[in-house]
Amino acid sequence: MIGAGSRRIVITGGNAGIGLALARKLADRHRLLITGRKQPGDVAGVIPSGVSYVVADQSDPEASAHALVAGLGDLGWDALDNAVLNAGVGYAALDGFDTTDAIRETLDINLAAAIAQAHALYPFLERSRGTLTFVGSVAHRGSAAIPAYAASKAGLHGLARALRSEWGGRVAVQILHPGPTRTDMHEKAGYDPGRLRALFLDADDTAKMMAAAIASRRSPVTTSWLRYLVGGAFTGRRL
């Protein structure tokens, strides 16, 4: 284990939304490699200084895992303390029917790529007895407007349970289920939450609760309003 305050951390989907909020929170104290689909030039002003970035497009799951491992190699990292597999997409379905393209893309990006990346990162995490964190969603229990998205997150939930048991004692595996959070994801998904958006959590608060949950290594952990109201963004262990 690398000493506290100098962890080597991967965050997928770290160039926007919740992943970026988490990267900003951790960048001062830890070494970060973040990923996204966008080209480096498009995120240059967004990423915190000192944070490394690699393009790892998860619509090709295996290629994204290779890109991630190549990124670790470029940094000379042979071990990882934390991997936060956070990148994700969703599409609003009409009358509960997702298009075939939306189903494939959602399952590839949210689930298949996370599986491929988890496998590829295992040896790096094992070397430092690290923690693998999947980012699910409260929608994993089912959500009418986003069935393929809900299915992808339910799949991640099952995957996390399986790997937590299989990899126990070598790599800690957990899944976090954020509640609705103010990011651009809903607009990208073609979903307008309307006035409900005012009730969404701030991405910084979701990131704070996630950081404490990651430090705890517990699983599953829901980071929603309920946890926020009992002080979840201001208590818990520091990552």
Ligand X SMILES: NC(=O)c1ccc[n+]([C@@H]2O[C@H](COP(=O)([O-])OP(=O)(O)OC[C@H]3O[C@@H](n4cnc5c(N)ncnc54)[C@H](OP(=O)(O)O)[C@@H]3O)[C@@H](O)[C@H]2O)c1
Nearest approach in angstroms of CB 143 to ligand X is 10
Contact between 159 and 173 under an 8 Å Cβ cutoff? The reply is no
CA-based nearest residue to 36, from 63, 64, 73, 9: 64
Give the CB-nearest residue to ligand X.
17
Residue 59 interacts with ligand X (CB under 6 A): yes or no: yes
The site string for ligand X over 167-186 (x = CB under 6 A, - otherwise) reads -----------x-xx-xxx-
Stretch that binds ligand X, among 22-30, 50-58, 167-175, 213-221 (CB under 6 A): 50-58
Structure tokens at 220: 């599953």
Nearer to ligand X, 122 or 134 (CB): 134
Q: Choose which of 86, 106, 131, 219 interacts with ligand X (CB under 6 A).
A: 86
Binding footprint of ligand X, residue count (CB under 6 A): 27
β-bridge mates for residue 35, sequence order:
54
Cα end-to-end span (Å), the chain:
13
Residue 16 interacts with ligand X (CB under 6 A): yes or no: yes
Residue 58 interacts with ligand X (CB under 6 A): yes or no: yes
Helix (H, G, I), strand (E, B) or coil at 59: coil
Nearer to ligand X, 170 or 197 (CB): 197
Nearer to ligand X, 79 or 200 (CB): 200
Q: Choose which of 8, 9, 10, 17 interacts with ligand X (CB under 6 A).
A: 17
Interface residues for ligand X in 199-228 (CB under 6 A)?
none
Nearer to ligand X, 6 or 99 (CB): 99
The DSSP secondary structure of 109-175, one letter per residue, reads IIIIHHHHHHHHHHHHHHHTT-EEEEE--GGGG--TT-HHHHHHHHHHHHHHHHHHHHSTTTSEEEE
* Cα–Cα distance for residue pair 7/84, rounded to 1 Å: 13
Tell me how crowded residue 73 is: count the other CB atoms within 10 A of its CB: 10
* Cα–Cα distance for residue pair 137/140, rounded to 1 Å: 6
Q: Choose which of 7, 13, 112, 120 interacts with ligand X (CB under 6 A).
A: 13
Helix (H, G, I), strand (E, B) or coil at 10: strand
Residue 117 interacts with ligand X (CB under 6 A): yes or no: no
Q: Where on the chain is the footprint of ligand X (CB under 6 A)?
A: 13, 15-19, 36-38, 56-59, 86-89, 109, 135, 137, 178, 180-181, 183-185, 188
